[in-house]
Amino acid sequence: MKVLSVNAGSSSLKFKMFEMPEEKVLVSGLFERIGIAGSCYTIKLNGEKITKEAVLNDHKDAVRILTLELINNHVIDSLDEIKAVGHRMVHGGDVYSSSVVITEDVKRKVRELIPLAPLHNPANLVGIEAFEQEIPSCVNVGVFDTAFHQTISEEAYLYSVPYSWYKDYGVRKYGFHGTSHQYVSWQMNKILGRSDTKLITCHIGNGGSISAILNGKCIDTSMGFTPNAGIMMGSRCGDIDASMLGYVMDKTGLSMKEVDNILNKESGLLGISGVSSDSRDIEKGIKEGNERCLLAQKMYVRRVIDYIAKYYVLLGGADAIIFTAGVGENSIEFRKQVLEGLKVLGVEIDLEANNTRGVLTKITTDDSKIACYVIPTDEELMIATETYKLV
Ligand code: AMP
């Protein structure tokens, strides 16, 4: 069965088509600058990458061109062959704890959740409606980034603020990157050959989050009400003392919106180093003797270790720690520093095995008390798998 995995942003649409259940990638690509001058798209097929300019007034234009390209390149003979489209949805609130076939009622609920994800949920809905109109015969499925974290208990997802904030306004931990945590924990359980496992999954990219997963179910995660909680990130601050905000606003005269923008876009590695949000630039800065880059890296590593330690205690041990996403998959130095900081738990790094980027690898020695792995994430495949299961 041919299944499309789609991630619609406000001006972009990323796609990957799989033959399921074989998990074979047939074609992938990206439509960019939708509704903006200079729109274009890229298609990757048979190892070849083609970029073309096109008029993309809206997401429907993108889906129409996508279907034409699929037919012209003989990926499909007719649109009926696309049985299902799985959509990456950012926020399912506490309404969706698993993936769901999209109906009018689901769209209404996702619309009601817009205040919780004002940038993402509207774009996700636009993507769904484009496919509904252009390929009416296909089934659309929503795969929520928050769903995997819905198994977290009340005592972990509530903030110690007035209970009415939760009841009246939905203020609680939701967690994000759920599809990625779900995917790597699923792969890890396959490697271990069992599902009664205690796993700590570290999705460390430009954004980053860490989850504690017991027997395949998430019991805690580091992101919160928004993605700006937990560990330090590329440009997000992660956990801070909330009461510093009023103080800084008084001192600077900045508005809440301006402060929030700084906490999301000018903090983290960027805020401390003053150089970049990209860990490659931080590592380069360290080699050049930049003290602030060194400080940023120390803080970054320390906060990851803090969360792993916290989840190790929560889980009552760990069978495996998994690193994924841009930094987790590619930064040899970052992983080395984190694992060295976990030595007290009996973690023994295999320096030679750790010397790899972007491939599935066990990076600890056989006598390490906890096995640590790099598992490249594949959110598109997770979305296709969820979609295939439902359809
Ligand atoms: P993501 O958000 O998962 O796409 O991750 C993007 C981030 O991965 C970039 O901002 C970099 O900080 C990091 N990254 C990618 N490649 C490398 C590398 N070779 N070494 C260190 N960090 C990397």
Q: Residue 121 sits in a domain of what CATH number?
A: 3.30.420.40
What is the pLDDT, as a whole number, of residue 186? 98
Asked if residues 364 and 370 have their Cβ atoms less than 8 Å apart, the reply is yes
Q: How far is the CA of 278 from the centre of ligand 1 (A)?
A: 6
What is the pLDDT, as a whole number, of residue 181? 98
Are 362 and 262 members of one domain?
yes
Are 77 and 140 members of one domain?
yes
What is the pLDDT, as a whole number, of residue 350? 98
Q: Which atom of ligand 1 is nearest to the CA of 207?
A: 2
Q: How far is the CA of 202 from the centre of ligand 1 (A)?
A: 14
Are 222 and 124 members of one domain?
no
What is the pLDDT, as a whole number, of residue 21? 97
Regions of the chain short of the pLDDT cut 50: none
In a domain, 131, yes or no: yes
Could you say which of 144, 177, 204 is where a domain stops? Answer: 144
In a domain, 389, yes or no: no
What is the pLDDT, as a whole number, of residue 188? 98
- Does residue 297 have its Cβ closer than 6 Å to ligand 1? no
Are 244 and 366 members of one domain?
yes
Range of the domain at 46: 2-144
Are 112 and 199 members of one domain?
no
Could you say which of 84, 115, 144 is where a domain stops? Answer: 144
Are 121 and 17 members of one domain?
yes
Strand partners, 88: 143
- Does residue 206 have its Cβ closer than 6 Å to ligand 1? yes
What is the pLDDT, as a whole number, of residue 165? 98
| Residue with CA at minimum distance from ligand 1 atom 23 | 327
Are 127 and 242 members of one domain?
no
- Does residue 280 have its Cβ closer than 6 Å to ligand 1? yes
| Residue with CA at minimum distance from ligand 1 atom 19 | 330
Are 220 and 287 members of one domain?
yes
Residue 61: Cβ-neighbour burial (10 angstroms; 0-12, 13-18, 19+): buried
Q: Which atom of ligand 1 is nearest to the CA of 203?
A: 3
pTM of the predicted model as reported, rounded to 2 decimal places:
0.96
Q: Which atom of ligand 1 is nearest to the CA of 281?
A: 12
Are 135 and 220 members of one domain?
no
- Does residue 327 have its Cβ closer than 6 Å to ligand 1? yes
- Does residue 205 have its Cβ closer than 6 Å to ligand 1? yes
In a domain, 124, yes or no: yes
Could you say which of 126, 144, 162 is where a domain stops? Answer: 144
- Does residue 281 have its Cβ closer than 6 Å to ligand 1? no
Catalytic residues, by residue number, are 145
- Does residue 326 have its Cβ closer than 6 Å to ligand 1? yes
| Residue found by looking up tokens 């980034």 in the block | 145
Q: Which atom of ligand 1 is nearest to the CA of 357?
A: 19
In a domain, 171, yes or no: no
Are 330 and 225 members of one domain?
yes
Domain count, the chain: 2
In a domain, 120, yes or no: yes
How is residue 363 written in tokens? Answer: 């990076």
Q: How far is the CA of 355 from the centre of ligand 1 (A)?
A: 16
In a domain, 150, yes or no: no
In a domain, 337, yes or no: yes
